[in-house]
Structure 1
Amino acid sequence: MGALLSGAMLAPLFASETQAAEVSFPHIETIGVSKIKLEPDMAELNVEVSVTQTTAKAAKDDSDNAVANFIARLTAAGVTKAKIQSANLHLQPQYVYAQDKAPELTGYTASRQVTVTISELTRLNAILDSALEEGINRVNNIALKSSKEAEYVAKARQSAIIDAKQKAQSLAQGFGEKLGKVWQIRYYDQRPVQPVMMRLSAKADAMAVNESYQYGEITVEDRVEVVYQLE
């Protein structure tokens, strides 16, 4: 990224900021950036059951049973209730529309979602299979995560700070100036990029089931903008 060296007047980049304070003294502005990639070891799984029956109660009962049975299997497998969230029932009437006729009610569709935080990525495949076996018929999202995310977010921030400092020192030295104190810091919190995992069909019988899943990397990025005075 770039840096800005100014002898007196407000830099154009500052003018584009919302009413940033004027910088009327010699200064250097630098932008520190960093990027860290780490392997995921956790996943957040969001699945859904959607059932259509002739009556609202039958649809509700089927969806409730699928969710209850899936949660029972999760808890039996050691997944704590704190890591399981089940959404409320969504009930939608179904109609058939024919020309020159009033809409005809044909049934009801009931749906519920379950979100599970999986602490061990190696268990993901088994949990997915158990969901399908209990009547869960939609996989909405699989977000990969890391148990060390907070640690690496802090590391990325420190790396961005070091990057900004090194750029400022290099510029000041190159122009024969002496770097002074920090006058302003602008920081915008960055969210880690968590890849969505894709399940692919096996290309050969010899391929293990777990190898048919593609695990991406989590990218942790950070950025800090700093204004240094020149002495």
Structure 2
Amino acid sequence: MRKQIMKSTLTLCALAASFIALPSVASQVDFPHIVTTGYGQIEATPDMAEFSVRVVQSQLNADQAKEGVDSVVDTFLAKLASAGVSKEDIKSSNLYLTPQYQYPDKGQPELVGYRASRTVTVQVMDIERLNDYLDSALASGINQVDNIRLKVKDESQYQAKARTAAIQDAQKKAQSLAQGFEQKLGKVWQITYKQPQNQPVVMRSMMMDSQPESNSYQDSVITIRDRVDVVYKLSN
């Protein structure tokens, strides 16, 4: 009886293994083929930007900290509105308020004040105005720049060019390999594509106690990349 149970168990395990292996076997290519990966990239000059600034204040009580931060943010938002920045291009975060403690060598921690902060993110459709908006932030009392992202407005057209370059790269590689191994390149059997996430140019964060690097973004370029994986059939 024990042997029959063991035999039955082994049979079930073998069947289970065969079912698990079926999808991988079905996905295997069982004919002569070449697998190539094409890469393409296009460089673009940034024509828009997005920056995030923050005001941070420490006061003796929570109300003073809140009022001080809100006043700075309201002033900055008013300056942006007067400069013609659309409300849709501005995002202002809620107040972030934390108590500040002093920790003596002996005894309990002592509350010494409150630290308040708010962040404003602005999308700049005309990159030539970027320095003006940063100057307005400084004049309003903003004391920290979290980051500055340089971007392009019509990224899709650059992505399409990079994709075309990737396709051409894959084709050239396949033709070269087939010719080198004295094979005839057949039709495309499979194309695998997953659009990469291009990262905008990000300037380093900085405190607003000094003037930002006003002209450093003008020499920046954005690289738009793409790739494609292709399986070609081969014939003698």
With the length of structure 2 as denominator, give the TM-score of the two structures.
0.81
- Secondary structure in 2 matching 1:190: coil
Partner of 1:218: 222
> In structure 1, which of residues 123, 126, 134 is the aligned counterpart of residue 132 of structure 2?
126
Deviation at 1:210, TM superposition (A): 4.3
Change (3 A) 1:191 1:215: farther
Partner of 1:229: 233
Task: State the number of aligned residues.
Answer: 206
Partners of 1:199 and 1:37 lie apart in 2 by: 24
Judge conservation of contact 1:197–1:216 (CA < 8 Å) in 2: no
Matches within 5 A, 1:143-182: 143-182=149-188
Partner of 2:10: none
Partner of 1:99: 105
Amino acid at match of 2:173: K
Partners of 1:26 and 1:211 lie apart in 2 by: 55
Q: Kindly indicate whether residue 51 of structure 2 is the aligned counterpart of residue 45 of structure 1.
A: yes
Judge conservation of contact 2:46–2:151 (CA < 8 Å) in 1: yes
Partner of 1:76: 82
Comparing both structures, which one devotes a greater share of its residues to helix?
Answer: 2
Judge conservation of contact 1:199–1:212 (CA < 8 Å) in 2: no
Deviation at 1:214, TM superposition (A): 5.7
Partners of 2:203 and 2:49 lie apart in 1 by: 9
Partner of 1:142: 148
Amino acid at match of 2:193: Y
Deviation at 1:175, TM superposition (A): 2.8
Amino acid at match of 1:224: V
Partners of 2:155 and 2:142 lie apart in 1 by: 30
CA deviation profile, 1:41-93 (whole Å, cap 9, x unmatched):
11110000011111111111111111111111111101101000011111000
Deviation at 1:114, TM superposition (A): 0.5
Q: What residue ranges of structure 1 are gaps of 5+ in the alignment?
A: 1-18, 201-208
CA deviation profile, 1:97-151 (whole Å, cap 9, x unmatched):
1011211111101101010000111111111010011111100000111113121
- Secondary structure in 2 matching 1:111: strand
Amino acid at match of 1:115: T
Partner of 1:187: 193
Judge conservation of contact 1:197–1:214 (CA < 8 Å) in 2: no
With the length of structure 1 as denominator, give the TM-score of the two structures.
0.83
- Secondary structure in 2 matching 1:98: coil
- Segments of 4+ in structure 1 off by > 6 A? none
Deviation at 1:24, TM superposition (A): 1.1
Q: Kindly indicate whether residue 94 of structure 2 is the aligned counterpart of residue 88 of structure 1.
A: yes
Identity %: 52
Partners of 1:141 and 1:34 lie apart in 2 by: 28
Judge conservation of contact 1:145–1:194 (CA < 8 Å) in 2: yes
Change (3 A) 1:212 1:152: closer
Amino acid at match of 2:228: V
